[in-house]
Chain A
Amino acid sequence: MGGLPTNKTVYAFAASPTNPKIMFAGLREGAFRSTDGGESWKKVAKAPRDVAAVAFDPGKPEVIFLGTASGILYRSPDNGATWQRQN
């Protein structure tokens, strides 16, 4: 159980459109992923910090977009394993 940093604001949240137990949470400390509906979370190793928004691509749910508070957008083509800066 657990896995999110304690007493930290969660700024962003998104659940997969096809498997809703897969979720991403965005914090200043980074992005976190759950595969059990939020019961447990693991830090997404290669995601940036300062996450302000996160969204799944409804047409390609393995694709996740992530925006930082400073306006940088990242795209992951592989469920969060790797991330490419877009702008």
Chain B
Amino acid sequence: METTQRRGGDLRPSIPTSRIRAHWSRVMSIAGLATAIALALSTFGETAGPSHDIGHLHALLVSPTDGSLWIGTHNGLYQSSDEGKTWQQVKIPAELAAMDFMSFAQDPINPKVLYVGTHNRGALRTTDGGAAWESFSTGLGGSDVHALAADGYNATQPKRLYAWVVDKGLYRILGDLSEWKRVDDGPSNPDVRALQAVNIPTGMGGIFLYAATSEGIFRSPDCF
């Protein structure tokens, strides 16, 4: 979906909000009251354990190359090579240090290329498996990136990444992956917590982008 550059540099959708949201649809219908009550009862009484130093957790990634784990937390970025038993903090340059590491996306072709969304530093990128980091936010309308997704990079489509920026909307970066462009406002509920490109054909030559939100799960064909 095209965007227009307005005076003052603000990127806004070129068509009204009511239309640009039309391609996002709730994946499942709202469950009945009886189901909700049953679920509430079945979950009652379970509690989470205490924190183990890594702090409030936001995001999790399993590397396809060696099975190592990455987590994004309130306290930093951590990696584990023993399936999560112990964690080592990943060094981030001081100028890119963020308050919270909110989301991950990994290049489907080259797993050493990893993208991280942060609460206050936009998106970061490493191309060497985490040794060196750079800002990857050119074109993003804000610095609070709550969700990232990499499309499957199939041969018929250009490379594409998605980012959800709080209060700004959905952004996409195509082809040479040089600059983010605003796509639209995303699902009708703007509180997106996770994005993933899912290899389920839309019937229109693409696949679906799924969004986890504060009102359930939505999806949109990735051709928009």
Closest residue of chain A to B39 (Cβ to Cβ) is: A5
Q: Is the CB of A3 within 8 A of B51?
A: no
Contact A49 to B28, CB < 8 A, known contacts A3-B35, A71-B57: no
- Give the contacting residue for B29; candidates A1, A14, A50; CB below 8 A: A1
Q: Given the complex, which residues of A lie within 8 Å of B51, measured CB to CB?
A: 70-72
Q: Is the CB of B58 within 8 A of A20?
A: no
Chain A interface, number of residues (Cβ within 8 angstroms): 55
Contact A4 to B46, CB < 8 A, known contacts A10-B193, A29-B40, A73-B84: no
Q: With the chains together, A7 CA to B53 CA distance in Å?
A: 31
Closest residue of chain A to B52 (Cβ to Cβ) is: A87
Interface residues on B, range: 35 or more
Q: Given the complex, which residues of A lie within 8 Å of B61, measured CB to CB?
A: 55
Q: Is the CB of B73 within 8 A of A71?
A: yes
- Give the contacting residue for A48; candidates B27, B46, B217; CB below 8 A: B46
Which residues A6-53 have CB closer than 8 A to chain B? 6-15, 17, 20-21, 23, 25-26, 29-30, 34, 37-41, 43, 48-50, 52-53
A-B contact pairs, 14 of them (CB 8 A): A2-B28, A2-B29, A4-B216, A4-B217, A5-B40, A12-B212, A13-B195, A15-B200, A15-B210, A17-B64, A30-B46, A38-B210, A39-B28, A52-B58
